Amino acid sequence: MALKITYATMSADNEELNASFEKAVVDVQSRLGQSHGVIVNGEHRRDRDLYEEVSPIDRDILVGRYAQATNDDVDDAISAASVFAPEWEAWGWEARRDLMLTAADIMEEQIFEISALMSYEIGKSRLESLGDMAETVEFFRYYARQITDHDGFVTPLNSLGATETNTSVLRPYGVWAVISPFNFPMALAAGPSIGALLTGNTVIVKPSNTGALMALEFYRVMDEAGLPDGALHILTGAGVVIGEHMTHHDDVDGITFTGSYPVGMHLLQTASEKRPKPVSCEMGGKNPVIVTRSADLDLATQGIVRGAFGLSGQKCSATSRVYVEHSVHDELVDKLVDATARIQVGSPFDRSSFMGPLIERGVVTRFEKAVDEVRSGGGTILVGGNVLTDGDLTRGHFVEPTVVTAPLDSWIWSEELFIPLVAVTGVSGLEEGIALSNDTEFGLTAGLFSTDEREIDKWFGEIEAGVAYVNRAAGATTGAWPDIQSFGGWKGSGTSGAGGGGPWYLRQYMREQSRTLIR
């Protein structure tokens, strides 16, 4: 691509990019509506119950039919992964790294086609889909650089004599389970899998049924790159059926889960009951922004709008709460309402659309309940609040981007909603803003708009979030990128303490072995 895409890319006005994406939208139509099997040890098992995934853009677009794995499929995949694990480790980190870099090249060559499929599947805009894909390519390359820079995580230690050699070696756990959500269907299925595979683990991926096509595309790319059958397995199916069996299986040695707080906490508390094993959970957020009187209000407006309404608010990092110093509150709200009213909602295949559909009807219902809560609870809908049913939009799940005020005891301020709705209120200053920001079980991302260095230093030191942005127009709380911003949560938002795309991420997929050799 002539233009490098990241989540911070501000517009899709590059003609080469648009032409390539729009051609791909047509070219991939023949790949929609196909039936896909569960993939166990290279075998595509198609004789299963099928889940039909319909595009959120248009109910008449069938994205695909996915075989629903059984517990026997889970057992077979784990068995195959266990058997192959020693051989995969014996490949050595250099060979595994080279395969990952080959896969990165293949994925980059196909980035427009896979991005177009993602837009059909999830309803992402072209920039969001291309960003998801480009992030995945960077995961391959960044983690490859990390393992190379650390010489495979083999570290010489001191010795007590000339005949003694001591070494710290980080080695894989064995079989790793990855459970991925719908909203970043490639990056959040592939990113953890790349980390686990590169460090020598074999991997079993259970994607969301909405988003499963991207996990299957990830497998296809890995297969083209030459990944052996035993190293990666894809189990499509309902989490309540196979996810529970997989994560609590005796022979699964580690878990990466991205999803809701209740499910993540359940896994954290139960998956290690029989024996200790790492359970890495990313469990969402209720991400605050503070705007002080010293802020550039135009910058703040742009950052809040992009953070709140990108991917229709369906990001764990989405801007959800805004605390504005009283002296600039009304001016900021006016700017925010005006900018929100100008957002184009529509098909992601329309280049003028910034916001596409919600993923399914149930999320539209959640949007309607949140709007009703504001209206009935003494709040105000400042802009938006409606489900869109004009023309072709009635065939999908489209709603208006929405800005509200509400009493602070409303659940609008505390529950993660995953919808394009942001609540705004006035505060006396930074101190009150920080206290309200931290008054949550979550701690994923947070934003500040201020030009006062003392305020910035105080905020960095006191905000309880794993990812903290100051004066970011490209997304007040969103848009982390590998090797640019590590992405991981504090408190109820995360368990590993090591952000994805950051310098400590690979460590969680390995355990240390201390080796002493005396000759």
Same domain for 382 and 252: no
> Given this model, what pLDDT does residue 12 score?
64
Q: Which of 244, 282, 400, 455 is catalytic?
A: 282
Distances from the Cα of 464 to the Cα of 256, 285, 444, 459, 484, angstroms: 23, 12, 8, 9, 20
Same domain for 252 and 393: no
Find the distance separating the first CA and the last CA of the chain, reported in whole Å: 55
Tokens of 145: 């650089």
> Given this model, what pLDDT does residue 503 score?
96
Same domain for 188 and 68: yes
Same domain for 500 and 417: no
> Given this model, what pLDDT does residue 238 score?
85
Residues of the chain by 3-state class (helix, strand, coil), percent to 5: 45, 20, 35
> Given this model, what pLDDT does residue 448 score?
98
Same domain for 174 and 193: yes
Same domain for 330 and 262: no
Same domain for 391 and 368: yes
d(CA 5, CA 106): 17
Q: Is position 519 within any domain?
A: no
Q: Is position 24 within any domain?
A: no
The type of residue at 257 is: F
> Given this model, what pLDDT does residue 1 score?
47
Same domain for 298 and 278: no
> Given this model, what pLDDT does residue 9 score?
75
Which residues constitute the domain of residue 472? 287-481
DSSP 91: T
Q: What is the CATH number of the domain that holds 131?
A: 3.40.605.10
Q: Is position 444 within any domain?
A: yes
Count Cα neighbours of 422 within 13 Å in the Cβ-side half-sphere.
Answer: 34
Are 287 and 318 in contact by the 8 Å Cβ rule? The answer is yes
pLDDT tens for the 519 residues of the chain, in order: 445 788 877 666 788 999 999 999 999 999 999 999 999 999 999 999 999 999 999 999 999 999 999 999 999 999 999 999 999 999 999 999 999 999 999 999 999 999 999 999 999 999 999 999 999 999 999 999 999 999 999 999 999 999 999 999 999 999 999 999 999 999 999 999 999 999 999 999 999 999 999 999 999 999 999 999 999 999 999 878 899 999 999 999 999 999 999 999 999 999 999 899 999 999 999 999 999 999 999 999 999 999 999 999 999 999 999 999 999 999 999 999 999 999 999 999 999 999 999 999 999 999 999 999 999 999 999 999 999 999 999 999 999 999 999 999 999 999 999 999 999 999 999 999 999 999 999 999 999 999 999 999 999 999 999 999 999 999 999 999 999 999 999 999 999 889 999 999 999 999 999 999 999
Are 257 and 264 in contact by the 8 Å Cβ rule? The answer is yes
**Whether residue 281 lies in the annotated active site:** no
Same domain for 437 and 502: no
Same domain for 294 and 204: no
Q: Which of 316, 325, 400, 464 is catalytic?
A: 316
Considering only CA atoms, which of 224, 226, 2 is closest in space to residue 112?
2
Q: Is position 296 within any domain?
A: yes
> Given this model, what pLDDT does residue 3 score?
57
Beta bridge partners of 172: 510
Tokens of 368: 């309607």
> Given this model, what pLDDT does residue 239 score?
77
Same domain for 438 and 316: yes
> Given this model, what pLDDT does residue 8 score?
76
pTM recorded for the entire structure: 0.96
Q: Is position 231 within any domain?
A: yes
Same domain for 312 and 279: no
Q: Is position 518 within any domain?
A: no
Q: Is position 491 within any domain?
A: no
> Given this model, what pLDDT does residue 14 score?
85
Q: Is position 31 within any domain?
A: no
Q: What is the CATH number of the domain that holds 447?
A: 3.40.309.10
Number of domain units in the chain: 2
> Given this model, what pLDDT does residue 510 score?
98
